[in-house]
Amino acid sequence: MTKSWDERVDEVWAQASGEEVGADTVARIDALAAERGPDDARAEFERAGARDSAGLPAEAVALYRRALTLGLDEEHRPQCVIQLASSLRNLGEYDDALAVIRAEEERSADGPYRDAVATVHALILASAGRPAQGLSVALLALVPHLPRYHRSMTAYALEIAHADT
C-alpha cells in the first residue's frame, strides 16, 4: 500500500528525530513539498520547519510567513505561528516575535497549543531582557494545571511581572 504524503513527511521527521537535522532532511522535505507545488501552505510549512530545525531561521521565517499567507488548516496554523515566533526570537527580532505570539494568544486562548504559545512567549520575554515578565507568563500558564492555589499563584505571577520595570 502506498503511503500518504503526511505519512511520508512524518517518516522523514521520525528518522531525523534524535539527531541534528541537516541538508539531507531539508532535501527530503523539499522533495516531498515539490509534489504539492509552490502554492501549497502545508508544503511551505514543512519546508520552513526543516530549515528551522537545520539552524536556518532566517530562511524558515520567510517560509512560515508564506505558509500563513497561503492559509493553513487549524491544526497546522498555530504550530506555524509558534515556530515563526520562536525563529524570530532566535534571530533577535523580539518585538516582531512578541507581536506574532501575542496575536496568537488572543486568537486561540483556549486552543490546544495555548501552553506552547505561553512557553514561547515566556522565552521571547526572557531573551528580550524581561525575565520576570517571562516568568510571569510561564507561571500563569501553569496555574490552571495546579490542583489548588489558583488565586494566590495568579496574584504572585501578576506581581512578579512588574519586577522588570
Instruction: Give, for all 165 residues of the chain, the pLDDT tens digit.
Output: 799 999 999 999 998 876 678 889 999 999 999 999 989 999 999 999 999 999 999 999 999 999 999 999 999 999 999 999 999 999 999 999 999 999 999 999 899 999 999 999 999 999 999 999 999 999 999 999 999 999 999 999 999 998 886
Which residue do the cell numbers 523580539 mark?
94
- How confident is the model at residue 22, as a pLDDT? 86
**Residue 109 DSSP symbol:** T
- How confident is the model at residue 19, as a pLDDT? 67
Distance of CA 62 to the CA centre of its chain: 14
**Residue 92 DSSP symbol:** T
Which residue do the cell numbers 486568537 mark?
107
User: Is 67:42 a contact under the CB 8 Å cutoff?
Assistant: yes
Distance between CA atoms of 18 and 41, rounded to whole angstroms?
27
The verdict on pTM exceeding 0.85 is yes
Domain extent listing, the chain: 5-129
- How confident is the model at residue 18, as a pLDDT? 66
User: Is 21:54 a contact under the CB 8 Å cutoff?
Assistant: yes
- How confident is the model at residue 7, as a pLDDT? 95
Q: Which CATH class is domain 5-129?
A: mainly alpha
- How confident is the model at residue 103, as a pLDDT? 97
